[in-house]
Amino acid sequence: MIRPEDAQFHPPTSDDPLWAETNYFGLYAGQDTDRPMNIGLYGLFREPLGVVGSTVSVNSRRVRAPWEADYWDAWEHLVVPQPSNLLDYELANGLKVVATDPHRIWDVSYSDPAADLEIRFRYTALHEPYDINDPAMDPLAAGKDMAKTWGHAYAGHFDQSGHYEGEIRLRGVTTPIDCVSTMDHSWGVRAERQTSRLSWMHAHAGTDLVLHGLFDFSTDNGPDGESPLRLTHGYVVENGELRGLKAGGGVTKRSHLYPEQISISVTDTADTVWNAEGRALTTFPWQSQPGVVGHNALLRWDLDGRTAYGECMDFVGMGELGAVYDRVHDPK
């Protein structure tokens, strides 16, 4: 169970200097227009080292280099503000986060005057944090594989969907923010080299229907091949009721490893089957840290007959990416 105090920093359970805590706020604006913007604000705190990495991205395009997006900013060695406080912090890159009501309300802003960028929003949770490590909440928690690098990084982890309200101004153009999307917070040993994969995705039809899932996948079929998906964790929120997912899978069709089309079918603890088909509107190579690429896309979904929006983040470590493209360029 996630408690209000889990919004704060946790005492490390390991002497590994790569212990980390994260806050990720993913959202979108103008989703009903011909140029929807996918927005991500992230902090990766390595408190034992006294540093925090932070990235901010705004992307309405199909790009394969981060500098081709509408906006990209990445810092790796910001100083953790002292006294350290994950409930109220402001970083030197312009990111400010305040947990006004822990696990219910966050107020977030970001400013980069040089790029004429201002982002401000309030996030209001739709449900209690979903603890992927609690068998009482997540029916798949008992079968998790902690040997994987994402298992260590997610030793403590919750996902939560909520309503984002605010605005973004970029280069003189202001766009309202009014969407339902998903944030997360994790704590554990986060290795610099990722050796396992993670597909983190969701579809939001409104405040009354949300589907969020984490899946395992393989790169064996190459950067343009299909990837079967195996559900590892997830939930549905239907009319305010939060239910864990107990089974499911799907397939992702790819281009250069970016998800172009996703089909999933999952079953919740009430034995309701949910089917979703998503098509990519954007692509963006998000490097949450130097050793991994999140092949990111904002998708428009058909969620059991309802239009929904949400992103997919397919994380692959640099070593595996090198092997994938080596097979393409130098087939044995």
- Secondary structure element (H or E) that encloses residue 174, with its range: strand 173-189
The answer to whether residue 332 scores a pLDDT higher than 80 is: no
Range of the domain at 237: 18-329
% of residues, the chain, pLDDT over 70? 98
> In this structure, is residue 8 part of a structural domain?
no
Mean pLDDT value across the chain: 96
Q: What is the pTM of this model?
A: 0.96
CB neighbourhood size of 144 (10 A): 18
> In this structure, is residue 12 part of a structural domain?
no
> In this structure, is residue 13 part of a structural domain?
no
**C-alpha distances in Å from residue 137, one per residue of 4, 128, 222, 233, 273:** 17, 11, 35, 10, 18
The answer to whether residue 153 scores a pLDDT higher than 90 is: no
Strand segments, DSSP code E, in 70-155 are 71-79, 88-90, 95-101, 105-112, 117-125, 130-131
The answer to whether residue 321 scores a pLDDT higher than 80 is: yes
In which residue are the tokens 């579809």 written?
A: 203
> In this structure, is residue 1 part of a structural domain?
no
The answer to whether residue 317 scores a pLDDT higher than 90 is: yes
The answer to whether residue 142 scores a pLDDT higher than 80 is: no
| Inter-residue contact 147 to 2 (CB < 8 Å) | no
Residue 236 half-sphere exposure toward CB, CA atoms < 13 A: 22
Report, as an integer, the average pLDDT of 138-142. 91
pLDDT of residue 86: 97
Cα(317)–Cα(219) distance, integer angstroms:
11
pLDDT category of residue 146 using cuts at 50, 70 and 90? low
pLDDT category of residue 118 using cuts at 50, 70 and 90? very high
Report, as an integer, the average pLDDT of 179-197. 95
Report, as an integer, the average pLDDT of 47-61. 97
The region, left, alpha or beta by phi > 0 then psi within -120 to 50, assigned to residue 305 is left
Report, as an integer, the average pLDDT of 41-69. 97
> In this structure, is residue 269 part of a structural domain?
yes
Measured in degrees and rounded to the nearest 5, phi and psi for residue 147 equal -70, -20
Report, as an integer, the average pLDDT of 104-126. 98
Strands 105-112 and 117-125: antiparallel
pLDDT of residue 330: 85
> In this structure, is residue 10 part of a structural domain?
no
Cα(217)–Cα(225) distance, integer angstroms:
12
The answer to whether residue 302 scores a pLDDT higher than 70 is: yes
The answer to whether residue 218 scores a pLDDT higher than 70 is: yes
Number of structural domains in the chain? 1
The answer to whether residue 202 scores a pLDDT higher than 70 is: yes
Cα(317)–Cα(65) distance, integer angstroms:
16
